[in-house]
Structure 1
């Protein structure tokens, strides 16, 4: 639990592994997930490392598995996922896996090639079937046209003989006898038939007309049913066409145009009997192909179903093998080439657990030489490691998004667990809206195992699911603040009744918009309300906004000042841990004094005013005599003093006795804190450095002057001059220290003012949320409530649906997101800036779980 408040203590270790045991030991460390390895070969190319061939083999196996996965998804076959993570196979098992994947890939590719060839043949036969059916109509029309042409020519010859009086000779008679046969043969044009994609047909027709100068005759008919493209399986729509023309020259042009538009030409007999015979043969072949295709698809399905049962486990095994060899590439070989040397960051508390894992790996490999894990001394900054569980993980992610904590720095996450949903709820305070949010978060928490197993790629859903505990707490806290505000979907809950005694009747109170509830009469206010705000304020439209404004504004300032003081107090824990006593004296103390004497004093004035002044109190503590806290604070800062009250009112000039003395004193002390923060630390460091430079050689306890300076005095002087840990300035120029301290002083002084004002967003967003909910109720839902009879019921059902959609989409989602972002800003800027540097880097251990959760086969390395 201690690591939740401060990051884990880390140490740099050197690891010696025997070559035959290295694979098994790294596998055990990957299952443990507590070791971050360093790259000891940063200048070595990735292709020149020792285990590059094994990594390439894993890449090839992963490629084959991705091919199988693509084919399985194409057929819609479910892949078995038991949720278990098998152990990494031994190196000798890689050969069996490679052989299995090679066999599956070759078999599947062969089946796919055969299926594609069969589908292509099936497509050709199907297109030929449609051509034979569609072109029959074209040929019938052509024969009718030829008969008409022959009869017309014969009629013309007989008419010419009667007109001229000359009888036809034997040639003319022979022509008449052979006219039908010879005309059919001489004047019947050539033709080609085929199919083309439907979207290409208009351009195809225009090109034929232009290239052949109108000397072709095109007929086309659509194929109603879509055809399957054998190359990619897409459904395409095609049309049958037939082109009539004369001469070989046009024939060449037509075929080139068909080839350019990727139209497929098929042979089509001229005789009807031949066409019928061909159609019967085509139908027979189509039936045979359907049978063969069905058997091929059944075989493919069986292969894929068998592969789908083990595909997930195969992926896990291959990725684990690949991750192990990637990690082994970070190691160095000793001179004997029999031992691998690694350097790694490990948590101090887990060293024994890591050693046990190394022993298990050694036993699995059968090696007799135990691994050696030695702690090393280093001046490098260790990585930051905060242990989290499924509850604290989301809150820690909010902190890390701003910046990873410096090593051993105070972690804001445990405090954020409470302050984040509470400050959100102050802005989002509505019992109804909070209940919707809490139920949504509770649903995700209850169903988290099933939802986590789905592993969707939707980023928005993953964000919601990852923050399910944050959403649940924000909803619960919003329900609490909603009860405090007595606000539920912009309406009040009359739980305890009202503590106002009103002499007006109900109609006067509900209809008179100018009526204001005056609390200064003894007959009106009986006693304080038990919990939250009295529901009578819901109908006090005249002064409800004024009252809620003052109430929420003061609450925002109070919460903000307390939050900032807590942040400054957290800085003391950092200074104390790093033994930075200089920062305690010259930073923490003046910061606390400055913040308390100015802004916390203003908060105390609010409580004093609430305690002393009331509507029923007589002068000088009546409501009329109550001063404005803002004006009082401004006069205090400007040394103007408090204005005297009017004569004969009985009011006091000051809220409490001694106010005129203490306020100028507080401001003067706060002003003294500014040069204290600005010059104190740099001047102290300068003085200590000067003392260290003129330090004479001291005799140590044994009286031996050859040992030089006293080590204890040197350490003490260095600690006083620059401190330790995060506050060290040993190698920094004095000019840089002065500039750095000046920037921090200005940032803190001005930030104290701006940050206090920034907390007013709690008031502003709370008021805006309440007013928006009220507008949505009065402008939408009230329309359905005003209707009567059966029409009113239907109207209410429709209006309620609209109101519910707008409530969830606008007031819960959009307003919730806005309040979330403002709360995030209050923590990152106003709170964490007081103590949190966030200049560290995250601990990224070699972990199979992390690798598999991210869905990546690559391991975090510096390659």
Structure 2
């Protein structure tokens, strides 16, 4: 978990490879995938390097292997042609039987001696040539003549054995050539020593893998029979090392989401650890529906159960491979959508009622507020929560299903989701600001905690944190029967910045005006602290003349303006949670009302057929519009909230990944034959 929170420690090492064992040592490192080699000959042309001849020979072999499929195709064509010939020969095999015998000449004086056997032997033929009057009896051929069937069978068997052996060995040959080429290209990155008895290489290596590095060098020397072992030395480096986060099939999808924005700086806090939870959750807030989330989770579960299937791992469809790589992400998105759908009480836009509602209509009749004449003459009725017994208690979990029948359902849900979006946004951004403290501590910038982190938190919490406080305070203090007299939070928030009081809007609590003025002053006072963040530069920087005061002031001023304006725009940006959730809910409602409801109106056998057709159309639209289009839209908006609103509070994203020299990666990246 530590390496997931922060990248692994990476150091620069210098390898001394003996000339006789350099190939085997690099090959061992390629099998393990430990280090990333640096180019020590950046000014040398690629065609002038020491091992360019070996690389070219490997490329020629790869070219030959790439032509093998065409050769195999020609062989298959030849086999097909031979099979056709064999069929024709087999059909006329009797006509070839005469070739088993050959004629010989008999003198005229011996005709009488052989006349009688000619008549008695049915295997002899008497031929009278017009021009020589000679007899030609049949005799077995002295030469071993094979039957056409035997010749064709042996030829086909030989070709089949040749093809089977070639097909079995060709992938191994290709892998061997790829490894050889990769090793020779790495050797081209090395520089020879002064005595030309060893090669010197530099590479990035995780600190925890240094013992394995030494073992690989020893193993390479043992395989080559070298009497002197290769070794390494750690080097200091002024350049920031590359970033390495160990990932697996579960975390790789979330790490790819973060690194699509930018690779983390060395030893910087990794947002992927928190994205595992926050990304599916924010997606589900916009995609909340139990039915749609269940379909998405089942699809992801199928991909997970079949993840070892070669047809999935080796698919050439880029979109499918992207979806397959994020199968665990899709699973969590589906599960969180089921959870938020249960809170919204929506399942394919329909509400469910596992518990009893907290609203009751019976008290309205008891006080004679409602009666038969009211029911007959009023199209819409309003339950008054002030009446005792109308509202007893909140619904145990989620939205009360009675809101599904209310005419003001949309008004209530809009207010609820809008405030919920602001609360989630402020908490999410505040958490991002707090994470920057880990970066400051890791870099030794303790002063930034007091001069950057605390002022940023003050500005955020004094303004938008206070807005969240007022929302939650109003929910707790004012009960449903007091809702008519509840003050407006929007007016209070506007008056807070104008330093005014509104007599028509009662305060939420005693002394609210004073508290609001103090909070605004604290927020405004934190801004100059941002800009004045210029400490005396360290003495080494002054001596090297690398400290530019004007540049630092400009950078800090830009950061201050960006942060202050970003707090406002980013908070408003989280309202997309409300907008996307509303759009998804309304689209689900439209599909149900305009499509599915028409299928349940029919009766009898005709209704069964109509329901089957309508349900098929409803399912198709649900998958195409709500799952694919709406799902992709919610995914992109959740991506934006993490990249911009969350990560810019603490994440630099200007690093570069460690790309170890690894045969497995090279082979997987190559196109199979």
* Structure 2 length-normalised TM: 0.85
Match of 1:575 in 2: 440
C-alpha contact (below 8 Å) 1:118/1:289 kept by paired residues:
no
Please identify, of 528-537 and 829-838, the stretch whose mean Cα deviation from structure 2 is larger.
Answer: 528-537
Q: CA shift at 1:112, angstroms?
A: 8.2
Pairing of 1:342-491 with structure 2 (within 5 A) = 342-451=201-310, 454-491=313-350
Change (3 A) 1:640 1:451: farther
C-alpha contact (below 8 Å) 1:510/1:539 kept by paired residues:
no
Distance (whole Å) between structure 2 residues aligned to residue 330 and residue 510 of structure 1: 90
Structure having the higher Rg: 1
C-alpha contact (below 8 Å) 1:434/1:474 kept by paired residues:
yes
Q: CA shift at 1:524, angstroms?
A: 1.6
Q: CA shift at 1:310, angstroms?
A: 2.7
Q: CA shift at 1:373, angstroms?
A: 0.9
C-alpha contact (below 8 Å) 1:509/1:539 kept by paired residues:
no
Partner of 1:394: helix, strand, or coil? helix
Q: CA shift at 1:54, angstroms?
A: 1.5
C-alpha contact (below 8 Å) 2:193/2:200 kept by paired residues:
yes
Q: Residue 854 in 1 paired to residue 672 in 2?
A: no
Please identify, of 763-772 and 43-52, the stretch whose mean Cα deviation from structure 2 is larger.
Answer: 43-52
C-alpha contact (below 8 Å) 2:421/2:578 kept by paired residues:
yes
Change (3 A) 1:338 1:527: same
C-alpha contact (below 8 Å) 1:21/1:362 kept by paired residues:
yes
Q: CA shift at 1:360, angstroms?
A: 1.7
Match of 2:528 in 1: 675
Pairing of 1:168-207 with structure 2 (within 5 A) = none
Change (3 A) 1:25 1:731: same
Q: Residue 612 in 1 paired to residue 477 in 2?
A: yes
Partner of 1:344: helix, strand, or coil? strand
Distance (whole Å) between structure 2 residues aligned to residue 798 and residue 629 of structure 1: 50
Distance (whole Å) between structure 1 residues aligned to residue 375 and residue 148 of structure 2: 87
Specify every segment of 5 or more residues in structure 2 that has no aligned partner in the other structure, as ranges.
87-146
C-alpha contact (below 8 Å) 1:32/1:847 kept by paired residues:
yes
Match of 2:518 in 1: 665
C-alpha contact (below 8 Å) 1:516/1:543 kept by paired residues:
no
Distance (whole Å) between structure 1 residues aligned to residue 150 and residue 576 of structure 2: 73
Partner of 1:388: helix, strand, or coil? coil
Residue 385 of structure 2: which of 515, 519, 522 is its match?
519
Residue 735 of structure 1: which of 541, 550, 567 is its match?
550
Match of 1:307 in 2: 166
Match of 2:467 in 1: 602
* Structure 1 length-normalised TM: 0.66
C-alpha contact (below 8 Å) 2:18/2:228 kept by paired residues:
yes
C-alpha contact (below 8 Å) 1:35/1:344 kept by paired residues:
yes
Q: Residue 826 in 1 paired to residue 641 in 2?
A: yes
Q: CA shift at 1:642, angstroms?
A: 3.7
C-alpha contact (below 8 Å) 1:34/1:354 kept by paired residues:
yes
Q: Residue 641 in 1 paired to residue 501 in 2?
A: yes
Match of 1:333 in 2: 192
How many correspondences in the alignment? 605
C-alpha contact (below 8 Å) 1:424/1:819 kept by paired residues:
yes
Q: CA shift at 1:22, angstroms?
A: 1.1
C-alpha contact (below 8 Å) 2:596/2:618 kept by paired residues:
yes
Q: CA shift at 1:746, angstroms?
A: 0.7
Pairing of 1:46-85 with structure 2 (within 5 A) = 46-72=46-72, 74=73
Query: C-alpha deviations, 1:309-335, integer Å up to 9, x for none?
Result: 233322222211111111111111112
Distance (whole Å) between structure 1 residues aligned to residue 375 and residue 254 of structure 2: 47
Change (3 A) 1:112 1:448: closer
Q: Residue 558 in 1 paired to residue 401 in 2?
A: no
Partner of 1:37: helix, strand, or coil? strand
Pairing of 1:136-215 with structure 2 (within 5 A) = none
Distance (whole Å) between structure 1 residues aligned to residue 174 and residue 153 of structure 2: 30
Residue 576 of structure 2: which of 756, 761, 764 is its match?
761
Q: CA shift at 1:521, angstroms?
A: 2.5
Displaced runs of 4+ in structure 1, greater than 4 A? Answer: 111-119, 288-302, 451-454, 504-513
Match of 1:23 in 2: 23
Distance (whole Å) between structure 1 residues aligned to residue 282 and residue 271 of structure 2: 15
Partner of 1:537: helix, strand, or coil? helix
C-alpha contact (below 8 Å) 2:280/2:333 kept by paired residues:
yes
Please identify, of 61-70 and 606-615, the stretch whose mean Cα deviation from structure 2 is larger.
Answer: 61-70
Change (3 A) 1:289 1:347: same
Please, what is the CA RMSD of the aligned residues?
3.0
